[in-house]
Amino acid sequence: MTPFRLERLARTALFAALLALPSGAALAADFDLGQLMQTLAQNRGNRAVFVEKKYLAVLDKPVESSGELLYVAPGRLEKRTLKPRPESVVLDGGILTVERGKQRHQLVLQDYPEVSAFVESIRGTLAGDRKALERVYGLHLEGSLERWTLYLLPNDPKMAALVSRIRIAGTKGEVRSVEILQADGDRSVMAIDKAGAP
């Protein structure tokens, strides 16, 4: 599997993980990384819709896709792209399954250390496990309860060769956007709307 495909699978898993961020005013006034992690640990599942734009150096316009996201604790993540063409990416335990049309591919995560490390960091986010996240990323939180931004900077050189930075922005307990900046300068931005979920 090429590094580009590994990065794409890892990025898809991250988007699904964003559903773990709870809605509502669960965050306290003394907002810090510890409080965010504590809030995340309480989440049992979520559903949302997304619109993703990928900005690639080889294209003049961004590539846009949209669909649904689903998270079920403790470790089932789904990203179902509906437009422009159907695609399904499901993480269940240690297996990542990608379906496009009649094609189906499965990855055993332990066979792909970069993807596995990425997914384990996602599970750390879902569990509110700051220690697990800090094994893979440097974490930096800015802002306030009303408008916050969490930056994840890969610690591992192999991850950093794929992803330079992940930026998650939200308000209160809701994620509003996720930006992934790849090491090659390409980037993707996903807008997440829980209100529009089916």
Instruction: Sketch the domain layout of the chain as residue ranges.
Output: 33-194
pLDDT recorded at residue 58: 95
Q: Which amino acid is at 125?
A: T
Q: Residue 167: which residues within 8 A CB-CB, separation 6 or more?
A: 149, 150, 151, 152, 178, 179, 180, 181
pTM over 0.75: yes
C-alpha distances (whole Å) from 123 to each of 39, 154, 165 are 14, 15, 18
Q: Tokens at residue 50, please?
A: 């997304």
Phi-psi region of 172 (alpha: psi -120 to 50; beta: other; left: phi over 0): left
Fill in the amino acid letter for 175.
Answer: V
Q: What pLDDT sits at residue 113?
A: 75
> What are the DSSP E strand ranges found in 56-115?
63-72, 76-83, 87-92, 95-100, 103-108
Three-state secondary-structure class, residue 17:
helix
Q: Give dist(CA 149, CA 101) in Å, integer.
A: 36
**pLDDT of the residue at 25:** 37
In tens digits, the chain (198 residues) has pLDDT values of 665 565 665 555 555 554 444 443 343 345 789 888 777 777 777 888 999 999 999 999 999 999 998 878 777 888 999 999 999 999 888 899 999 999 999 999 889 877 776 676 566 665 667 887 898 899 999 987 678 888 989 998 988 998 899 888 877 666 788 898 999 999 999 998 886 666
- Return the pLDDT at 188: 92
Please report the pLDDT score of residue 55 as a whole number.
Answer: 97
Domain boundaries 33-194, CATH class: mainly beta
Closest alpha carbon to 16 in 68, 60, 56: 68
Quote the tokens at residue 149. Answer: 């931004």
Q: Tell me, what's the pLDDT at 42? A: 76
Question: What's the maximum distance between 2 C-alpha atoms anywhere in the chain?
Answer: 50
For the record, the structure tokens of 35 come out as 């409080």
Which pLDDT belongs to residue 27? 37
